[in-house]
Structure 1
Amino acid sequence: MKLSIERGALLKAVSQAQSVVERRNTIPILANVLIEAEGDQAQFRATDLDIEVVDKAPAKVERAGATTVSAVTLHEIVRKLPDGALVTLSDDMTSGRLTVEAGRSHFSLATLPKEDFPVMASSEYSSNYTIPAPVLRRLFDKSKFAISTEETRYYLNGVYLHVADADGAQVLRCVATDGHRLARIDAGLPTGAEGMPGVIVPRKTVGELRKLLDDDEMEIAVSVSETKIRFATPDIILTSKVIDGTFPDYTRVIPTGNTRKLEVDANEFAKAVDRVATVSSERSRAVKLSLEEDRLVLSVNAPDSGAAEEELVVAYGDERLEIGFNAKYLLEIASQVDRENAVFLFNSAGDPTLMREGTDTSAVYVVMPMRV
């Protein structure tokens, strides 16, 4: 195998590959990227056995072939090469080495046989559809903060992507929860997604997918089966196993009878929460919200380090209410709001609180209160 490739294209391809590779693994080949050169392009494939990414890049191929080399080492080399450099990759069958050359730089890297590289079995996908990158980005970006990190409840360690009914119409919905807070985000249902099975997309996959979604003009091809999900752009294919478990019935924890309504500038609210939480040594310290007519007082009382209080002018017309929340959860939810106003709907100090963005019901958040 021998090919020449522009440094920028190579860096982009190898960056995506090396981020999938697990830093610690007991199977040496899984630390490698499989490089395949043929025609006028090179293909870079990496896997951790749960996720596989394949990235294509234009290249001048002098000798077709394939080999595997350490993904992290190759990435570090390419990252440190000068912009615009032309990089030549060639493997020597006799020495079992891959030569990397650019200008006056010359590297010789150990390789492993391409036959040992595990390729994820292709799946029969029951649903195939395309969706604009900004729509998919919004679905996952606004829900991923609520993914659980508790390994024992593995079925909460991802985002539940499924088709749901909302106001008499079908929508594509993402839900994530860790038992303390919940995010439910809706988008219009793409053509072809109608019979899609509900799948739990793992946290790591959500992180890798985010890297494909920066181009607002791009359409993402999504394929879903009971066990796998695949996201494809013209250059990159990301395939992942889904979490084998049943996502709980989240509709039961979304309150419907909360009538006390607080409307507040989302940006001002987030900044005020952040300021008063500063005196707390613990990130989970409760912030108390004291509500009365058109007035909100945020306060933190940390006996070890001090106390803080801040007052905001808000729209609130119901009876007086005092309720506490984890400061971190409040900040994360408030930071999801794209519109000017956040609307909080309360029932009592002990019941879940609902939050949405202005009059938009396509993004709904639930947060459990804390005792204060």
Structure 2
Amino acid sequence: MKLTIERGALLRSLGHVQSVVERRNTIPILSNILIEGSKEALHMTATDMDLSIVERTPASIGQAGATTVPAHTLYDIVRKLPEGAQVEIDGASDAGQLGLRAGRARFSLATLPREDFPAVNVGDLPHRFHVPAEEMRALIDRTSFAISTEETRYYLNGIYLHAHTQGKAKALRAVATDGHRLARIELGLPSGAAEMPGVIVPRKAVAELRKLIEEIDGAVEVALSDTRISFAFADVLLTSKLIDGSFPDYHRVIPTGNDKLLTVDRKSFMEAVDLVATISSEKSRAVKLSLKEGHLTLSASSPENGTATEELEASYAGQPIEIGFNSRYLIDILRQIQGDNAEIALADAASPTLMKDPANGAALYVLMPMRV
């Protein structure tokens, strides 16, 4: 294999594929990426056996061929090369070696046989639909913060993606929860998604997808079965196994009878929560909200740091109530609200609280209170 490629194009693609490769691998071949030169393009593939990525990058191919090289080593080399450099890759310079040349710099990298690299088998994915990249970014941003990191509850370690029908209204819903908070957002149901099964997309796949579509303007093609999902856009194909588990019935934790409605300026509220939480203990991060007509007081205290309070103007006409929240969870939700105000519907100090975005009726959040 012989090819020449511009350093910037190579670095961009390597940045995408190498992030899938785990830094520590007990299986040597999984530390490598598969590089294949053919048809005026360089194809690079990386996998951790659950998640795989294939990316095509235009290149000048002198001789077709394929081999595997250490992902992070190759990325670090290309990252340190001067901008605008032309990178020459020669996979036939020596048995088990890959030659790389840029200007006066020369490298010889150890390789492993292409045959040892796991086959990336996408399989049959019968359900296919398209989601605009902008909507996919919003879907991920407004739900991924609530994904659980608790491995024992593995079925919460991803975003639950499913088609939802209520009367004549049809939507593609994304839901994530860690048991303390829940985020739900919906889009208009894309053509081809009506018969899709409900699937749980793993946290790592969600994170990689979000990075890859940061600057994409077109649509993302989503294809899935009961066990796998793929996302195709530009010259990238990202494929992942799905979490094999049942997502809990999230409808049961979304309150419907919360009758105490608080409307408050989102930015001022978020800044006040952040400010008073400086005093709260690192473990609990608790802040207390004290509500009475037209008035909101935030407070926090800890034996080691003292106390803090701040008062805000707010629209509230219900009975006085005091309720505590984890400040970090509260701020995470407030960051996703697009409008100037946040709407918060409460029941009592021990029941789930519902938070909505007046500027985006498709988004909904639930936050469990805590004792303070």
- Give the distance between the partners of 1:113 and 1:203, measured in 2 at CA: 31
Aligned equivalents of 2:317, 2:175: Cα separation in 1: 31
Pairwise CA distance, 1:165: 2.4
Partners of 2:109 and 2:212 lie apart in 1 by 29
Once residues 328 and 283 of structure 2 are traced to their aligned partners in structure 1, the CA distance between those partners, rounded to angstroms, is 6
* Partner SS state of residue 17, structure 1: helix
Residue 93 of structure 1 and its aligned partner are, at CA, apart by 6.0
Aligned-residue sequence identity (percent) comes to: 55
Q: Is 1:43 matched with 2:57?
A: no
Correspondence 1:264 to 2:264: yes
Measured on the aligned residues, the alpha-carbon RMSD in Å equals 1.1
**Cα offset for 1:234?**
2.3
- Counterpart CA distance in 2 for 1:217 and 1:209 is 14
Deviates more, 1:119-128 or 1:343-352: 119-128
Q: Equivalent residues in 2 for 1:238-249 (5 A)?
A: 238-249=238-249
Question: Which residue pairs with 2:76 in the alignment?
Answer: 76
CA contact (8 A) 2:339 2:359 kept: no
Task: Kindly report which structure 2 residues correspond to 1:166-205, keeping only aligned pairs within 5 A, or say none.
Answer: 166=166, 168-205=168-205
Q: What is the rounded CA distance, in whole Å, between the counterparts of 2:165 and 2:305 in structure 1? A: 48
| Residue equivalent to 1:292 | 292
Query: Following the alignment from structure 1 to structure 2, what is the Cα–Cα distance between the partners of residues 359 and 69?
Result: 49
Shift of 1:39: 1.3
**Equivalent residue letter for 1:157:** N
Matched residues in 2 for 1:330 and 1:336: separation? 10
Counterpart in 2 of 1:302?
Answer: 302
Q: CA deviation at 1:95?
A: 3.0
- Please report how far the alpha carbon of residue 122 of structure 1 lies from its aligned counterpart in structure 2 after TM superposition: 2.3
How many matched pairs? 372
| 1-structure distance, mates of 2:43, 2:10 | 10
In 1: Cα distance, 2:120 partner to 2:63 partner:
26
Q: Give the secondary structure class of the aligned counterpart of 2:179.
A: coil
Q: State the shift of 1:140 in Å.
A: 1.2
Unaligned runs of 5+ in 2: none
State the match for 1:331 in structure 2: 331
Counterpart amino acid of 1:274? Answer: D
Structure 1 residue runs of 5 or longer lacking an equivalent are: none
Q: 2:37 and 2:166 mapped to 1: Cα distance?
A: 48
Q: How does 1:49-88 map to 2 (within 5 A)?
A: 49-88=49-88
The one-letter code sitting in structure 1 at the alignment partner of 2:59 is A
Q: What amino acid does structure 2 have at the position aligned with 1:82?
A: P
**CA distance in structure 2 between the partners assigned to 1:84 and 1:296 by the alignment:** 57
The range that moved more, 260-269 or 91-100, is 91-100
The equivalent of 1:127 in structure 2 is 127
354-363 vs 299-308, greater mean Cα deviation: 354-363
Taking the aligned partners of 1:24 and 1:166, their CA distance within structure 2 comes to 46
| TM superposition shift of 1:281 | 3.6
Deviates more, 1:236-245 or 1:305-314: 305-314
The whole-number CA distance in structure 2 between the counterparts of 1:76 and 1:256 is: 53
Amino acid at match of 1:224: L
Distance 1:357 1:168 in 2: 23
* Structure-2 residue corresponding to 1:348: 348
Contact 2:2-2:92 at 8 Å conserved across structures: no
Q: Which moved more, 1:213-222 or 1:156-165?
A: 213-222
Query: Residues 20, 216 of structure 1: CA spacing in aligned structure 2 closer, same or farther, 3 A cutoff?
Result: closer
Partner of 2:215: 215
The letter for the 1-side match of 2:370 is M
The answer to whether 1:34 aligns with 2:34 is: yes
Q: How far is 1:23 from its partner? A: 1.1
Letter in 2 for 1:112: L
Normalising by structure 2, report the TM-score.
0.98
CA distance in 1 between counterparts of 2:201 and 2:316 reads 38
Q: Which amino acid aligns with 2:146?
A: A
Match of 1:361 in 2: 361
CA distance in 1, matches of 2:348, 2:128: 44
Cα distance, 1:284 vs. partner? 2.8
In the alignment, what sits opposite 2:316?
A: 316
User: 1:59-109: CA deviations, max 9, x gaps?
Assistant: 000000000000000000011111111111111364311111111111110
Inter-partner Cα distance in structure 1 for 2:48 and 2:33: 11
Contact between 2:162 and 2:197, CA under 8 Å: does it hold in 1? yes
Deviation at 1:307, TM superposition (A): 0.9
